[in-house]
C-alpha cells in the first residue's frame, strides 16, 4: 500500500499533534494547517526530525471561510492527491460567558461547527469526485446530550456529529469514508484549567485510537472506549429525570 | 489541575501546576507573586521536584525535536522530551545517550538539572559533559542561550542546578555512536566489599558500563556480598524498537508488603539466583539499563506512605571503611533496602557547579517510609558520610538537614547568585532556610 497522504487541520492541537506523529511514524506524508505560524513550524519540524522527509505547512485562520477552497487546493497539490483529512481544530471557549452572551457563544459555534462544516463541504466534494478517501473529524462526547455545564460547546460538537453522520450517509456509496471521533476528557492545553480525575486520557492514547479507526474503517469511535458505555447510559436517562440532574 | 507527587511519594504535599506547551511562549509566572519550579516527569525521589505553596511549571508538553545532525550525533530538542523519546529516534540511526540514568522516563531538562550519571561514569562522567548549549528563560533577564562560551556562568549553574536557574526550553546534546542496541553483559558474583573493589578496578578498564547490586540484609561474614554487572555495546545487530512496560502496579500496595522478612528473602534469593561465578549474555539495552522501567509505577509497591531513597558517595581513600560502617549500620537496623546499588565513580569533572559525583564509591539505597525510625537511620548514615567528607545526592533526597547539605555542597553559596528570583523548590527552602527570601 502506498503511504497515506494526510491533510491535518488544526495541526497544533495536542490530539492532532500526537496523531500526526503516529501517522508519520507509519510512513504517511503530511500537510499541516494551523493558525499560529510559529507553533506550526515547531510541530512540522518535530515531525521532520522524527520521521525524515519534509512536511508541508500553511498558516491560516480556519474561521475565515473564504480561504477554505484555497487551503484544500494547496494541500491537495502539495500532497499530490490527499487521501485522508483530519479535521481537528476546535476550542472549548468560556462556557459561562457563552451562556450569558450570544456573541461569545457564536465564537465557539463558528470555530467548532460552522468552519468545520464549510471545510467538510469543500473536502467532501473533492474526495467524492475522486471516488475514494477518508475524512476524520474530532467531535466530542459533549455533543451527545446537552448539559447545563457545557451546552454551548456541546451544541457546537453535537451539530458537527449530526453533520458528519449525514455526510457519511451521503458519501458511503461514493467510496469515501467518514469517521466521527468522540473523545472524552483529554489532558491537553485545552483542559489545563480542569481538575484531572480518573476519566482523563492522554492525547497519545486518543491518537492511537484515531489511527486505529482510520485503519479499521470505523464510523463512530469513542475514545477511550469506555465513553461509549458512559454516553449510552447518559443518553438513556429520560429527559424528565435528566433536567433535574446537576451535570 | 494535574496532581503532582515525587517518585518516592514522600513528602506528600498538594501541588499547584501550570503547563507550558510552546517554547516561544512567555514564562507563565504565577499572578500572586509566588515562586515557580520547572517540572519534568517527576522522577526525582524527594522534594527537589516539588514546590509547596508555589507553582510547578509542567514542561512535559515541550517535547518537540528541533534538529538532529545524524553525521555528528548532535541533537537539539525541547527540554520536556524524555530520554525514551530521544532513544526512539536516535537509536535506529546508530546513536545512543552518552550517559543514561537507571530510567529513561526522565526529561532532557530534568536530566540536565540533576546532572545525571550512569553506569559509565568511570569512562564518561556525567551527562553535563555532553551538553553543548541550552536555552534558558528567566523571569529577570528573559531568554538566554548558555554554553561553555556564552553565559558560561549560567550554563555551569544550570547543569545540576535543580531547575532553580529558570526554565530550560531546549537542550543541545552530543550523543554517542553505537553499532546496535545490544549489550554484551557479564554478571559476576562477589562475596565481600574487598572483592567488589578488586572487581571494580579490574572491570573499569575493560568495560564501559559497571555497577553492582549488594545484599544489604546480609550480616557478618556475608556482609558486602553481591552481583557485579558489567557490559559493553555489542556489535551484533538486534531489534531497535523499545520495549514498552509490560506490567504496571495499578494501586498503592499495602504498607506491610515490603517488610524486613520479605526484604531479606528477596535479597538472599536474588544473590543465590546466580550459581556460577560469572554469567555472560548478550542482551537488549532496555533490560540492561532500565530493568525497573519494565514494571510501570514500581514506586507504588511501597504503599501510600512512600519510600525514601538515599544515595551518598564517599571519597576513595575513606571508601572501604565508610562503606563497611554504612552497611553494618543498615544491617543492624533491620531496615535494609530492596535494591542497594554500588558504583565506583571516576574522576572526570563535570562543568556543573552543584553536580553530585566525585571520585569514589557511591551507594544508593531505598527504604520504605516508616516515619521517625527511617529518618533517624538516615541521619545516622549522614553522620558517617559527613565524617569522611562524602556527600548525598539532592535528586534523591527528602530529608537531609540544612547543615548536612551545606557541608556536602559548599558551592551552594556561589550557586545562589544564579537562582532565578522567581524560582524555588521545597528542597531548596529546606536546605537553605536562612537565605530564603533574600536570594
Tell me the average pLDDT across B323-341: 84
- Residue B244 has a pLDDT of 65
Query: Between β-strands B55-58 and B16-19, what pairing exists: parallel, antiparallel or unpaired?
Result: parallel
Of the pLDDT bands very low, low, confident and very high (cuts 50, 70, 90), residue B260 is: low
Burial A125-152 (b: 16+ CB within 10 A, else e): ebbbeeeebbbbbbbbbbbbbeeeebbb
Contacts of A189 in chain B (CB under 8 A): 19, 21, 61
* Structure-block grid coordinates of residue B296: 510501570
What gap in Å lies between CA A183 and CA A174, rounded to an integer?
27
**A124 in contact with B, Cβ within 8 Å:** no
- Residue B298 has a pLDDT of 83
Contacts of B3 in chain A (CB under 8 A): 196
CA distance B380 to chain A (A): 40
The CATH superfamily label for domain A5-242 reads NAD(P)-binding Rossmann-like Domain (3.40.50.720)
> For testing the chain B interface, which of A21, A39, A208 should be mutated: the one with the most B CBs within 10 Å?
A39
pTM for the model stands at 0.93
Torsion sign over Cα B425, B427, B429, B434? negative
* Structure-block grid coordinates of residue B144: 538566554
Q: Is the pLDDT score of B436 beyond 60?
A: no
- From A200, which residue of chain B is nearest by alpha-carbon distance? B2
Q: Is the pLDDT score of B257 beyond 70?
A: no
What gap in Å lies between CA A55 and CA B174, rounded to an integer?
26
Interface touch B68/A49, C-beta < 8 Å: yes
Among B165, B35, B162, residue whose Cα is nearest residue B428: B162
* Residues ≥6 apart with Cβ < 8 Å to A183: A15, A138, A140, A141, A201, A206, A222, A223, A227
pLDDT digits (tens, 9 = 90+) for A60-83: 999 999 999 999 999 999 999 999
Interface touch B65/A43, C-beta < 8 Å: no
Contact call for residues A65 and A42 (beta carbons, < 8 A): no
Hunting for cell 556536602 — which residue is that? Answer: B408
* Residues ≥6 apart with Cβ < 8 Å to A167: A120, A124, A135, A178
Q: Is 0.90 exceeded by the ipTM?
A: yes
3-state DSSP assignment of residue A136:
strand
- Residue B437 has a pLDDT of 46
Tell me the average pLDDT across B413-424: 97
Using alpha carbons, list the distances in angstroms from residue B43 to B79, B101, B280, B294, B412. 15, 11, 31, 15, 23
- Residue B66 has a pLDDT of 98
Contacts of B18 in chain A (CB under 8 A): 192
**B3 in contact with A, Cβ within 8 Å:** yes
What gap in Å lies between CA A147 and CA B362, rounded to an integer?
58
8-state DSSP, B82: B
Among B67, B92, B88, residue whose Cα is nearest residue B77: B67
Q: Is A153 designated active site?
A: yes
What gap in Å lies between CA B9 and CA B363, rounded to an integer?
21
Interface touch B65/A192, C-beta < 8 Å: no
pLDDT digits (tens, 9 = 90+) for B277-304: 899 999 999 999 998 888 888 888 888 8
Interface touch A49/B66, C-beta < 8 Å: yes
Q: How many CB atoms lie within 10 A of CB A84?
A: 22
Picking from B1, B23, B61, the nearest residue to A189 by CB comes out as B61
Q: Which residues 6-45 in chain A show a CB within 8 A of chain B? A: 14, 38-39, 42-43, 45
Q: How many CB atoms lie within 10 A of CB A246?
A: 6
Interface touch A196/B1, C-beta < 8 Å: yes
First and final C-alpha spacing in chain A: 46
Interface touch B2/A194, C-beta < 8 Å: no
Of the pLDDT bands very low, low, confident and very high (cuts 50, 70, 90), residue B246 is: low
Tell me the average pLDDT across B311-324: 92
What gap in Å lies between CA B201 and CA B288, rounded to an integer?
21
Q: Which residues 212-241 in chain A show a CB within 8 A of chain B? A: none
Enclosing H/E stretch for A31:
strand A29-34
Beta bridge partners of B368: B307
Lowest mean pLDDT among A203-207, B9-13, B216-220: B216-220
% of chain A beyond a pLDDT of 70: 100
What gap in Å lies between CA B39 and CA B107, rounded to an integer?
9
Contacts of B66 in chain A (CB under 8 A): 45-46, 49
Contacts of B250 in chain A (CB under 8 A): none
* Residues ≥6 apart with Cβ < 8 Å to B397: B45, B46, B47, B48, B309, B310, B427
- Residue B87 has a pLDDT of 96
Sheet hosting strand A220-223, strand order edge to edge: A56-59, A29-34, A5-9, A84-87, A133-138, A176-183, A220-223
Indicate the domain borders of chain A: 5-242
- From B65, which residue of chain A is nearest by alpha-carbon distance? A46
Contacts of A187 in chain B (CB under 8 A): 2
Phi, psi values for residue B148, rounded to 5°: -65, -20
Provide the mean pLDDT of chain B. 91
Interface touch A39/B22, C-beta < 8 Å: yes
Contacts of A193 in chain B (CB under 8 A): 1
* Structure-block grid coordinates of residue A20: 500526526
Q: Is the pLDDT score of A138 beyond 50?
A: yes
* Structure-block grid coordinates of residue B404: 548536612
What gap in Å lies between CA B367 and CA B326, rounded to an integer?
14
- Residue B98 has a pLDDT of 98
Q: Can you say how many angstroms the Cα of residue B40 is from the centroid of all Cα atoms in its chain?
A: 13
Q: Is the pLDDT score of B438 beyond 50?
A: no
Query: Between β-strands B307-313 and B391-392, what pairing exists: parallel, antiparallel or unpaired?
Result: antiparallel
Tell me the average pLDDT across B3-28: 90
**Which one has a higher pLDDT value, B275 or A169?**
A169
Q: Is the pLDDT score of B29 beyond 80?
A: yes
Torsion sign over Cα A167, A171, A172, A175? negative
* Structure-block grid coordinates of residue B140: 529577570
- Residue B439 has a pLDDT of 40
CA distance A244 to chain B (A): 28
Q: Write down all domains in chain B, each with its CATH number in brackets.
A: 182-401 (3.30.70.2520)
What gap in Å lies between CA B322 and CA B102, rounded to an integer?
25
Contact call for residues B301 and B9 (beta carbons, < 8 A): no
**A187 in contact with B, Cβ within 8 Å:** yes
- Residue B255 has a pLDDT of 59
Interface touch A42/B23, C-beta < 8 Å: yes
Q: Is the pLDDT score of A211 beyond 90?
A: yes
Interface touch A14/B21, C-beta < 8 Å: yes
Amino acid at each position: 500500500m502506498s503511504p497515506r497522504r494526510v491533510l491535518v487541520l488544526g495541526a497544533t492541537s495536542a490530539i492532532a499533534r500526537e496523531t500526526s506523529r503516529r501517522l508519520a511514524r507509519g510512513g504517511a506524508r503530511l500537510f499541516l494547517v494551523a493558525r499560529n505560524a510559529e507553533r506550526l513550524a515547531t510541530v512540522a519540524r518535530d515531525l521532520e526530525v522524527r520521521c525524515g522527509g519534509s512536511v508541508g505547512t500553511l498558516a491560516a485562520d480556519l474561521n475565515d471561510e473564504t480561504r477554505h477552497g484555497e487551503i484544500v487546493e494547496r494541500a491537495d497539490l502539495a500532497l499530490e492527491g490527499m487521501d485522508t483529512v483530519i479535521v481537528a481544530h476546535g476550542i472549548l471557549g468560556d462556557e459561562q460567558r457563552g451562556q450569558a452572551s450570544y456573541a461569545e457563544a457564536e465564537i465557539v459555534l463558528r470555530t467548532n461547527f460552522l468552519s468545520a462544516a464549510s471545510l467538510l463541504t469543500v473536502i467532501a466534494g473533492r474526495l467524492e469526485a475522486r471516488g475514494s478517501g477518508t475524512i476524520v473529524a474530532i467531535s466530542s462526547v459533549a455533543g451527545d446530550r446537552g448539559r447545563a455545564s457545557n451546552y454551548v460547546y456541546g451544541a457546537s460538537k453535537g451539530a458537527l456529529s449530526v453533520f458528519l453522520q449525514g455526510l457519511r450517509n451521503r458519501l458511503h456509496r461514493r467510496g469515501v469514508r467518514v469517521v466521527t471521533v468522540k473523545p472524552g476528557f483529554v489532558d491537553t492545553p485545552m483542559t489545563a484549567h480542569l481538575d484531572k480525575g480518573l476519566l482523563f486520557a492522554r492525547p497519545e492514547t486518543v491518537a492511537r485510537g484515531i489511527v486505529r479507526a482510520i485503519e479499521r474503517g470505523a464510523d463512530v469511535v469513542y475514545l477511550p472506549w469506555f465513553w461509549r458505555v458512559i454516553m449510552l447510559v447518559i443518553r438513556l436517562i429520560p429527559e424528565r429525570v435528566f433536567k433535574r440532574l446537576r451535570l | 489541575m494535574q496532581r503532582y507527587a515525587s517518585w518516592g511519594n514522600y513528602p506528600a504535599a498538594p501541588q499547584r501546576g501550570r503547563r507550558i506547551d510552546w517554547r516561544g511562549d512567555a514564562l507563565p509566572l504565577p499572578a500572586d507573586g509566588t515562586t515557580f519550579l520547572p517540572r519534568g516527569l517527576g522522577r526525582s525521589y524527594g522534594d527537589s521536584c516539588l514546590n509547596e505553596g508555589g507553582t510547578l511549571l509542567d514542561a512535559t508538553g515541550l517535547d518537540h525535536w528541533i534538529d538532529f545532525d545524524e553525521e555528528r550525533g548532535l541533537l537539539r530538542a525541547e527540554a520536556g522530551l524524555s530520554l525514551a523519546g530521544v532513544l526512539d529516534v536516535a537509536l535506529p540511526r546508530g546513536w545512543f545517550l552518552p550517559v543514561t540514568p537507571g530510567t529513561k522516563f526522565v526529561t532532557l531538562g530534568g536530566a540536565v538539572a540533576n546532572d545525571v550519571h550512569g553506569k559509565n561514569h568511570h569512562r564518561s562522567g556525567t551527562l553535563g559533559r555532553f551538553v553543548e548549549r541550552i536555552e534558558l528563560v528567566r523571569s529577570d533577564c528573559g531568554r538566554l542561550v548558555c554554553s561553555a562560551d556564552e553565559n558560561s556562568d549560567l550554563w555551569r549553574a544550570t547543569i545540576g542546578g535543580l531547575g532553580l536557574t529558570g526554565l530550560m526550553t531546549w537542550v543541545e546534546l552530543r550523543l554517542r555512536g553505537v553499532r546496535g542496541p545490544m549489550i554484551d553483559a557479564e554478571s559476576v558474583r562477589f562475596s565481600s566489599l574487598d572483592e567488589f573493589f578488586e572487581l571494580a578496578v579490574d572491570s573499569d578498564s575493560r568495560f564501559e558500563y559497571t555497577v553492582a547490586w549488594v545484599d544489604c540484609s546480609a550480616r557478618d561474614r556475608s556482609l558486602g556480598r553481591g552481583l557485579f554487572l558489567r557490559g559493553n555495546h555489542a556489535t551484533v545487530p538486534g531489534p531497535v524498537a523499545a520495549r514498552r512496560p509490560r506490567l504496571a502496579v495499578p494501586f498503592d500496595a499495602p504498607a506491610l508488603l515490603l517488610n524486613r522478612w520479605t526484604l531479606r528473602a528477596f535479597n538472599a534469593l536474588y544473590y543465590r539466583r546466580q550459581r556460577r561465578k560469572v554469567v555472560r549474555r548478550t542482551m537488549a539495552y532496555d533490560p540492561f539499563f532500565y530493568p525497573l522501567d519494565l514494571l510501570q509505577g514500581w514506586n507504588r509497591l511501597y504503599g501510600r506512605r512512600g519510600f525514601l531513597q538515599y544515595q551518598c558517595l564517599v571519597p576513595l581513600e575513606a571508601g572501604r571503611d565508610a562503606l563497611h560502617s554504612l552497611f553494618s549500620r543498615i544491617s543492624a537496623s533491620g531496615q535494609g533496602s530492596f535494591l542497594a546499588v554500588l558504583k565506583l565513580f571516576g574522576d572526570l569533572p563535570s562543568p556543573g557547579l552543584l553536580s553530585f559525583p566525585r571520585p569514589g564509591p557511591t551507594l544508593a539505597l531505598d527504604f520504605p517510609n516508616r516515619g521517625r525510625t527511617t529518618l533517624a537511620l538516615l541521619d545516622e548514615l549522614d553522620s558517617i558520610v559527613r565524617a569522611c567528607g562524602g556527600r548525598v545526592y539532592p535528586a534523591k533526597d527528602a530529608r537531609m538537614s540544612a547543615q548536612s547539605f551545606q557541608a556536602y555542597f559548599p558551592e551552594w553559596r556561589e550557586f545562589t547568585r544564579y537562582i532565578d528570583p522567581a524560582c524555588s523548590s521545597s528542597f531548596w527552602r529546606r536546605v537553605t532556610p536562612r537565605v530564603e527570601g533574600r536570594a
